[in-house]
Chain A
Amino acid sequence: MAFSILRLARRSIGTLGIALITIAPLVAFALTPADIAPLAADDFDAKSAAIDKLIANHDAPSHALLKALSEDNALTTDSGEVLIQDGDTTKDAITGKAVSAPGAQPVTLNNLLRSKVSGALSGSQLDSPDLETRRAAINALLQNPDPSMKPLIDAQRAKETDPGLKKKLDTLWAMTALHNSDPATRLEAVQLVAARHDLDMNELLRPLVAKKPDGTFVESDDRVRAAAQAGIDELDAIQRRSEIAGTLFAGLSLGSVLLLAALGLAITYGLIGVINMAHGEFLMIGAYATYVVQNLFKRFAPGAFDWYPLLAVPASFVAAALVGMVLERLVLKHLYGRPLETLLTTFGVSLILIQATRMIFGAQNVQVSNPAWMSGGVTVMPSLILPYNRLAILAFSLIVVGIAWAVLTKTRLGLFVRAVTQNRRMAACVGVRTSRVDSYAFAFGAGIAGLGGCALSQIGNVGPDLGQSYIIDSFMAVVLGGVGQLAGTVIGGFGLGLISKAIEPFWGAVLAKIAVLVLIVLFIQKRPQGMFALKGRSAEV
């Protein structure tokens, strides 16, 4: 949204600038009060013209006024004078004399004018002796190319010594030289622009290959047109690559969420053969635990707010694990061996938990805010930004998988869990207290779902129905991966996420879901036990 506004602004500045070059010759005037009087008025078009004059002037007072405009230090009085605020004093913009003007108001600029002013300021800094200032000015101009800067850019390009900056200046020059009358210059310009590999350059190149209404090309020279077309093709390829990378990331991100939701499910199903329909509600409990912790931090330790996840993660694990333990002890324990009834019972539990949450926290979604370090993102490609919160969750899910793997393979409890999963009666015979193992494992699975809820609260809405929206997908991940298999769940979760996101751009979210379902039904034709089937004696019970 903000991005497109910026683009729009840039495009209009470009056309405006071009128009300016062709209509008004670049002649320096001395600054007169009449020139800048429009700044005090409300008409933005007139303001724009006044700023253009300031830019064309290249003298000290104009520069000072531009600087003041960019820093919101320009004031106007009711009588139409323009003043510059300098610390506590105010000075007349033209004479530079200190004047007192009690009722002065700041000059209001819109975004368009703001970028025009900052672009102009950068232009005037192009010949600064300081390398860093020059670099900043050039970068600012690259962001906001302005053809009216052409003379300055040409001049600086001739005398720039730093090779890096020289290259940038070349590009900058090329951007202003695309409409030069000499075809050779245009060709060079087009090649330089295309070599930037910046998707925004598309807008500069496209007009060159366009046709006029009468069928002739806007650009008369064949070589220039071919170069522009090549540039566009290359930019399209970059665009495609970044789209693929974006889809891949979205898939991994969805996969990590599904994985967190499915992991606990896979453990409990593998162990006790129970599909827990209330599993989604453990996600919800984890998310609400995060919400409560966040609120406690807001009230009692606002300074440490950025670190609330440190406490929210264990809190969400414990909250969900406790509810899971109670559920197992009170209800599920009595239903072992009757999986279909367990299915119904756990559905009832989920209804109760949802309704209880509605009555405690209200039916509306609650607000869980990201800590500061999780907002924003890393820009990988111009059109691909990876949000930090999604990256954090991806990492978090992998850590959770690691912990689950460690618990299942390296601890005594894990050994018992695996033993009971493989052969309950034999495990009982050699002295494993199976019922206690069931409880712990169920609580562990619920706790992992709680962690998933904590993660979800950072990227989505937190409401009583939170669990419902993920539960079917996470079941599918378990079915796809095979029951009671950690590796299977990981592949199943990420696979499902990637497939869904890969289909979505073509068919839309709904058809993608249906397609995924059909794929799964077809898949289990081939591999009824999932990708990672249990083998040997424990396979068919």
Chain B
Amino acid sequence: MTSATSPASVTSSGSGAPPGTERAAQSGFALGLPPRPALLSRPAWIALIALIIAVGLGVPFSALVLPETSAFHLSAYMMTLTGKFMCYAIGALALDLVWGYCGILSLGHALFFALGGYAIGMYLMRAIGHNGVYQSDLPDFMVFLNWHALPWYWEGTQHLWYALLLVILVPAVIAWVFGFFTFRSRVKGVYLSIITQAMTFAAMLLFYRNETGFGGNNGFTDFKRIGGFPITHPGTRTALFLITFAVLVLAFLGARAIVTSKLGRVVTAVRDGETRLMFLGYSPLGYKLFIWTVSAILCGIAGALYVPQVGIINPGEMSPGNSIEMAIWVAVGGRGTLIGPIIGAFAVNGAKSFFTANFPEYWLFFLGLIFVLVPLLLPRGIMGLIELVLHKRDRS
């Protein structure tokens, strides 16, 4: 979809221009643009590989080998919590792609998150088999509603591969169709945010209904096994944790690859001056659609990893409030940095766990204050703060 207005025409015409820096000449840019950064700097690669080794070896060892009495034992609670945070981090990363780099503040990403969750949830419900309360072929809630056959859209969900396909396809199709219609009519800025929020709200109302066939307000829960493995077994949990971590790393690298590519540059240009970009001969529609759909897919995958770990999915997951909370993770971490949203997701949700355990009535105050103070005092989030500190040290 991006080929129609590829930046190639611009870059190739640059070859006859006077030589710029060596790097820019290599990539065909000779317009005085700053060089495109590498995927990761050398220290970053080293840090990332060290982290992968530490997590890949340390987590299984600490969760499975060490006895529960050991101080370094990773409890099931902590593992689920961290796994949950990593799913949130993938979601935040997805949102950063569209908000931080394309200027689209989506207040509907909780929908894509929940859709991914529901897609894998359908498989998990089918995988319960006859172990449900009613010991029927159908999921319990359908027996409860006195349904006698699966609705057509449940067809094939007994296969894990098909459910995984749905995890990607459903958010992708919905995002593409929605994006096509809104971007085409050049809805942008706050308007777009409000419409994405309304979309999520409508979907939530739809999923709350029993007739929709997704368990009404109870949603899906009481899962037994995934891919043949018992879902609460420590080994399965550890595997899910490691898969989530791997997806987070891959998602980060993938997102980084997108934003450092030529396409990423055009996307950033859409953010900074869409009208100007159009005057230069680009049609922003394809770029926006691409980044929007990729982001939705990523968010769906995050949801699909989230559900087996927390063991429940219900329509509350797609409430408008949840979408807005995702935005604040990005804002706290620093948008347009990719690493920031990951930090933000961990920081805000860590604070949430702390407050809801200790001062439940003050959590909303605290969250509200973050919403108010971060844009006021920390417009570039934690990453901005870190950069500021580093710069000061450089100068002194």
Contact = CB atoms under 8 A, between A and B. Distances in A.
Interface of A: 269, 273-275, 277, 331, 334-335, 338-345, 347-352, 354-356, 359, 472, 475-476, 479, 510-511, 513-514, 517, 520-522, 524-525, 528
B310 interface: no
Contacts of B344: none
A489 to B, nearest CB: 15
Interface in B141-187: 178, 181-182, 184-187
B371 A349 contact: yes
Nearest to B193: A343
Given A338-B375, A345-B371, A347-B324, 15 more contacts: A273-B190, A274-B190, A331-B372, A344-B327, A348-B328, A348-B369, A348-B371, A349-B371, A352-B364, A354-B364, A355-B364, A472-B197, A510-B208, A521-B178, A525-B184
10 contacts: A335-B376, A340-B103, A341-B379, A344-B375, A476-B194, A510-B206, A514-B206, A517-B202, A521-B181, A525-B181
B209 interface: yes
B187 A513 contact: no
B185 A528 contact: yes
B365 A355 contact: yes
Contacts of A510: 205-206, 208-209
Contacts of A348: 328, 367-372
Interface string B92-124: 000000010001010000000000000000000
Contacts of A343: 105, 190, 193
6 nearest interchain CB pairs?
A348-B371, A352-B368, A351-B368, A341-B375, A355-B364, A348-B368
Contact of A340 (B189, B205, B320, B368): B189
A475 B202 contact: no
B198 interface: yes
A347 B371 contact: yes
Contact of B372 (A349, A514, A517, A520): A349
Contacts of B189: 339-340
B195 interface: yes
A195 B223 CA distance: 65
Contact of A522 (B181, B194, B365): B181
Given A340-B190, A351-B368, A355-B364, A517 B199 contact: yes
Nearest to B203: A514
A472 B184 contact: no
Contacts of A341: 331, 375, 379
Contact of B376 (A331, A350, A479, A525): A331
A522 B195 CA distance: 12
A515 to B, nearest CB: 9
A528 B205 contact: no
Contacts of B375: 335, 338, 341-342, 344-345
Interface of B: 99, 103, 105, 178, 181-182, 184-187, 189-191, 193-195, 197-199, 201-202, 205-206, 208-209, 320, 324, 327-328, 331, 361, 364-365, 367-372, 374-376, 379
A339 B375 CA distance: 11
B357 to A, nearest CB: 17
Nearest to A508: B209
Mostly helix, strand, loop or mixed at chain B's interface? Answer: helix
Residue of A335, A347, A528 with most partner-chain B CB within 10 A: A347
B376 A513 contact: no
Contacts of A344: 324, 327-328, 331, 371, 374-375
B205 A513 contact: yes
A339 B103 CA distance: 11
Contact of B185 (A275, A342, A476, A525): A525
A434 to B, nearest CB: 20
Contacts of B190: 269, 273-275, 339-340, 343
A356 B105 CA distance: 28
Contact of B320 (A342, A349, A472): A472
Contacts of A275: 190, 193-194
A517 B198 CA distance: 7
Mostly helix, strand, loop or mixed at chain A's interface? Answer: helix
A517 B376 CA distance: 33
Contacts of B361: 355, 359
A524 B201 contact: no
Nearest to B327: A344
Nearest to B191: A479
A284 to B, nearest CB: 14
B256 to A, nearest CB: 23
Given A345-B375, A359-B361, A479 B205 contact: no
Contacts of B105: 340, 343
A334 to B, nearest CB: 6
A528 B324 contact: no
A212 to B, nearest CB: 35
Nearest to A363: B361
A440 to B, nearest CB: 22
Given A338-B375, A344-B331, A348-B372, A475 B181 contact: no
Contacts of A525: 181, 184-185
Contact of A334 (B181, B182, B376): B376
Contacts of A273: 190
B278 to A, nearest CB: 12
A521 B179 CA distance: 11
Nearest to B197: A472
A212 B194 CA distance: 60
A514 B324 contact: no
Residue of A269, A351, A479 with most partner-chain B CB within 10 A: A351
B191 A351 contact: no
A440 B321 CA distance: 29
Nearest to B362: A355
Contacts of B320: 472
Contact of B186 (A352, A355, A528): A528
Contacts of A522: 181
Contacts of A334: 376
Contact of A521 (B99, B195, B201, B371): B195
Contacts of B206: 510-511, 514
B102 to A, nearest CB: 12
A285 to B, nearest CB: 15
A273 B375 CA distance: 17
B208 A351 contact: no
Contacts of A354: 364
Contacts of B191: 479
B50 to A, nearest CB: 34
Contact of A351 (B182, B199, B367): B367
Residue of B103, B185, B370 with most partner-chain A CB within 10 A: B185
B376 to A, nearest CB: 6
B365 A352 contact: yes
B15 to A, nearest CB: 36
Contacts of B103: 340
A479 B376 CA distance: 27
Contacts of B187: 524, 528
Contacts of B195: 479, 520-521, 524
B181 A514 contact: no
A352 B324 contact: no
Contacts of A520: 195, 198
A340 to B, nearest CB: 4
Contacts of B194: 275, 472, 475-476, 479
A339 to B, nearest CB: 5
